Structure 1
Amino acid sequence: MSLENSQHGQTLNSHNLPELDEWRNLHIDQQPTWHEHPDYPSSIQELSSLPPLVFAGEVDRLRRRLANVAEGKAFFLQGGDCAETFNDATADKISARVKTLLQMAVVLTYGASMPVVKMGRMAGQFSKPRSSNDETRDGTTLPSFRGEMVNGFDFTEEARAHDPRRMVRGYHTSASTLNLVRAFTTGGFADLRLVNQWNKGFTANPAHARYESLAREIDRALKFMEACGADFEALKATEMYVGHEGLLLDYERAMTRIDSRTQNPYDTSAHFIWIGERTRGLDDAHVNFLSKVRNPIGVKLGPTTSTEEVLRLIDILDPEREPGRLTFITRMGAQKIRENLPPLVEAVKSEGSKIVWVTDPMHGNTISVPSGYKTRRFNDVVDEVRGFFEVHEALGTFPGGLHIEMTGDDVAECLGGSDPVDESAFLDSYESLCDPRLNHRQSLEIAFLVAEYLARR
């Protein structure tokens, strides 16, 4: 039995629910080869007995918040690392990410006069799908790096071995991260009256100057409200949720618990779980397993997605047509968004489902440069965001959210921006182990762009 959940009684282990294990007999992609490892049984047993990282009441509250997004009454913002690392789960790096997300949310809330559902792509984003199982360097072939919950980044046989004990370390690192996120968002760090201070510690640039101007406007508005006797209790804290790709089904299954009040299964590894573009097969394991938990579920939709697939995904993952249950995260690429997205949106609109539509302008715009680095052009990212809004405006539907890979650090991984990053900066400031992320100032620029689009609606 796990920790007490004040909203929904207790969450109980779910070992004896065979319907949660149907996925084991289905086709499954992108999984580690660790089932014969001597530590596999004990790792699964330990994860199954540990307390939940999130609770049923929190998950249900998020689903209600996302229902507001589906109705066009709020906006969904999710951001964080491409793949988290254990060593980077420090107070400074976590606070920088949280601060950047809070700044983006303030820009969106104030600019669009709309509540923002905030979610970190953190506290569990430790695994990544790969296009190849193996990597070859100088004639040596080893397993590809699949994120630190599976193996290590160093190109050695020992580091690249798939080790199930890494799931346990991933759990504990996620718990530490969540502890900090909760402390920052409820302990005074997120007090909206401190909005002027959130830029401190970041290098000055055009995006920051624009933010500081907005912060002064908010500060004046708050002082006016205070003079009028307004109650600021609601401004002292904020809600922030966490989500990750539910790639490692061994981990997700071990973290699934039964809520004692409703008897429903919840994946307690995160509030929100999404299915990736590579693992969304309609009859495959990931879709089957996540169809059975009560968490809000996301699905990444690439440029080859058909209307038939979209409608089948709704039938499987959201059979009750519950607003807030299902989010479609489109990752088409700047060159394809305007052509490939409209048929999908039209099909869902005709079917009548209340789906949350979110743009991921990152994954469809990845390129390699001559130096060997993977990168993204900021202008391509912006263009896909613009195309996403144009499609929804033309069809009379709501562009519900933004999903980006970003960091609060001053890295140089994506080219361009108002304080432009060029390829020469990669040598000293490229830190990502997988895909390139927007840095702090590029993230703020995107937030201002989205706020302008929302304000015009």
Structure 2
Amino acid sequence: MATDITGELDAWRALPALQQPEWDDTGELAAVAAALAKQPPLVFAGECDQLKEELAAVARGEAFVLQGGDCAETFDGSTADAVKNKLKTLLQMAVVLTYAASVPVVKIGRMAGQFAKPRSKPTEVRDGVELPAYRGDAVNGFDFDAGSRRNDPWRLLQAYHCSAITLNLCRAFTKGGYADLRQVHAWNQDFVAQSPAGQRYEQLAAEIDRALTFMKACGANPDEFHGVEFYSSHEALLLEYERALTRVDHLSGLPYDVSAHFLWIGERTRQLDGAHVDFLSRIRNPIGVKLGPTTSADDALALMDKLNPDGEPGRLTFVTRMGAGKIRDALPSLIEKVTQHGSPVAWVCDPMHGNTWEAASGHKTRRVDDVLDEVAGFFEVHQALGTHPGGIHIEFTGDDVTECVGGGHEIAEDDLHQRYETACDPRLNRGQSLDLAFMVAELYRKTA
């Protein structure tokens, strides 16, 4: 049986595999894959199944997904402070959604594995010098020199270790008392005074405090708010890495990719006859697929049949990334046909990737208003069709960066250079993320 499973898990090797680096040394790659195959799992099959159950509730309209984190994690960013700040922002957003929208929130970090990114071109040219494009720290370095841009397989092993560090920190913070609901004020102390979003959050935190005090007075035990369930996710882009971290669960005899709880296929790699779709069809994790504005209803139905042929609840999530100007036209037909199909799907909105543009300074950026408008369009379409808007998938940081224009502090295009720190795409800062959470809570109340 194990031999058959191994053969099935390697079937992707005979198929077109887009967005894979041209590794300098295939012998090194084989050695790294062998080393990764011996490493302990980062997550466990039972945790993946638990997330699948929670995503099944999302598909039924009983819960909401909050998924977010860096566009591309960096090895240098795998520090306690950096992880804590991102987690703090995610927890604040989740509190806003849970309390203001009265809905259970499934918390998934775009963390502990998001070290690789697809690129539109395999190389980059500067001043007549052509080098491999930066594909994320799991592949090569950000600095534009031949040594840094070498596609180095040993970075995959470093990506594993940094993922383990990040996931360990996340588990410590979410289970060790930091995520206690009675900490809602503490999460906000460092920026509430100067942030409009923070001040609005502080008002909500005071309401939560009063509610908890009331519950305690009534004899309820608030200890159940001591910790939260937190799940990791990343794009399953580098197939050698994902394959090396796939294990057969000894209880069920089924294969799980133990690099993360939740994995998704990107817009650039969702070809039905491609390697990524084939590989993810064979693992038992809950999985997602990014769907851009060119996705047809037939495309979506074919992906459903390939990735979730048995209609398993919680197995498949469609993450739409249409753009603010296209979502209201492109999304309805997809939802209608998928709903008619009858197989359960959770719908999540990625309002980031369809709204990127280049400023005069050369910085890639996004308008917060466009992000908010795409989310509004997502809710409008679901409300009109009587279906469930299941969540949001965003790129954010816990730091006060200036990468997206607009928001409560009205970051202008001329401000982008001040704290533009992303390794790839522009992220919402903490205030902008909270602005989004409050708007989503309001939209959800209207559709509930």
Distance 1:15-1:98 versus aligned 2 partners, 3 A rule: farther
Offset at residue 425 of structure 1 (A): 2.1
3-state SS, counterpart of residue 158 of structure 1: coil
Encode CA deviations 1:224-277: one digit per residue, 9 max, x unaligned.
000011012210010000100000000000000000111000000000000000
1:303 maps to what in 2?
293
Partner of 2:44: 55
Within-5 A mapping of 1:52-451: 52-202=41-191, 204-451=194-441
Aligned to 1:429, what secondary structure does the other structure show?
A: coil
Kindly, what percent of the aligned residue pairs are identical? 60
Contact 1:37 1:163 in 2 (8 A): no
Q: Which runs of 5+ in 2 are unaligned?
A: none
Deviates more, 1:70-79 or 1:416-425: 416-425
The DSSP-based 3-state class of the residue aligned with 2:300 is helix
Runs of 4+ in 1 over 3 A off after TM superposition: 13-16, 35-38
Deviation at 1:423, TM superposition (A): 2.1
Structure 1 equivalent of residue 9 of structure 2: 20
Matches of 1:240 and 1:14 in 2, distance apart?
A: 34
How far 1:16 moved relative to its partner?
A: 6.6
SS at match of 2:256: strand
Aligned residues of 2:348 and 2:389 also touching (Cα < 8 A): yes
Q: Kindly tell me: are residues 14 and 43 of structure 1, through their superposed partners in 2, closer, same or farther at Cα, counting changes over 3 Å? A: farther
TM-score norm. by structure 2 comes to: 0.98
Q: State how far apart, in whole Å, the 1-side matches of 2:404 and 2:301 are.
A: 34
Q: For residue 154 of structure 1, what is the amino acid of its counterpart?
A: D
Deviation at 1:353, TM superposition (A): 1.7
For residue 131 of structure 1, what is the amino acid of its counterpart?
S
Q: 1:42: which partner in 2?
A: 31
Q: What letter corresponds to residue 124 of structure 1 in structure 2? A: G
Provide the rounded CA distance (Å) in 2 between the counterparts of 1:371 and 1:196: 38
In the alignment, the residues of structure 1 paired with residue 37 and residue 266 of structure 2 have an alpha-carbon distance, to the nearest angstrom, of: 24
Could you tell me how far apart the structure 2 residues matched to 1:437 and 1:231 are?
A: 38
SS, match of residue 148 in structure 2: helix
Say if 1:345 and 1:398 are closer, same or farther in 2 by CA, change over 3 A: same
Deviation string, structure 1 residues 114-169 (Cα, Å, up to 9, x no partner): 11000100100000000000110000011100000000011111111111100000
TM (norm. structure 1) is 0.96
In structure 2, relative to structure 1, the CA distance for the partners of 1:14 and 1:76 (3 Å cut) is farther
SS of structure 2 residue aligned to 1:136: strand
Shift of residue 196 of structure 1?
Answer: 1.4
Spell out, residue by residue over 1:28-48, the C-alpha distance to the aligned partner (whole angstroms, 9 max, x if none).
Answer: 100011173442121011100
Per-residue deviation, 1:322: 1.1
User: 1: CA distance between counterparts of 2:437 and 2:84?
Assistant: 19
Q: What amino acid does structure 1 have at the position aligned with 2:326?
A: K
Q: Report the Cα offset of residue 285 of structure 1.
A: 0.2
- Distance in 1, Cα, partners of 2:250 & 2:291: 34
Find the aligned partners of 2:75 and 2:26 in 1 and give their Cα distance: 22
Asked if the contact 1:196/1:215 (under 8 Å) is kept, the reply is yes
1:422 positional shift: 1.2
Q: Which moved more, 1:259-268 or 1:225-234?
A: 225-234
Asked if structure 2 preserves the Cα contact closer than 8 Å seen for 1:89 and 1:177, the reply is: yes
Q: Is 2:405–2:416's contact at 8 Å kept on the other side of the alignment?
A: no
1:196-238 alpha-carbon deviations (Å, 9 max, x no partner): 1110223621100000000000000000000011012210010
Unpaired segments ≥5 residues, structure 1: 1-12
2:32 and 2:154 in contact (8 A); partners too: yes
Decide whether the 8 Å contact of 1:282 with 1:313 is kept in 2: yes
- Over aligned residue pairs, what C-alpha RMSD do you find? 1.3
CA deviation after TM superposition for structure 1 residue 418, in Å = 1.4
Q: Secondary structure at the match of 1:77?
A: strand
* Separation (CA, whole Å) in 2 of partners of 1:422 and 1:94: 27
Q: Which amino acid aligns with 2:283?
A: V
Q: Secondary structure at the match of 1:214?
A: helix
Q: Which amino acid aligns with 2:229?
A: E
Matched residue count? 446
d(CA) in 2 for partners of 1:35 and 1:423?
39
Displacement of 1:15: 10
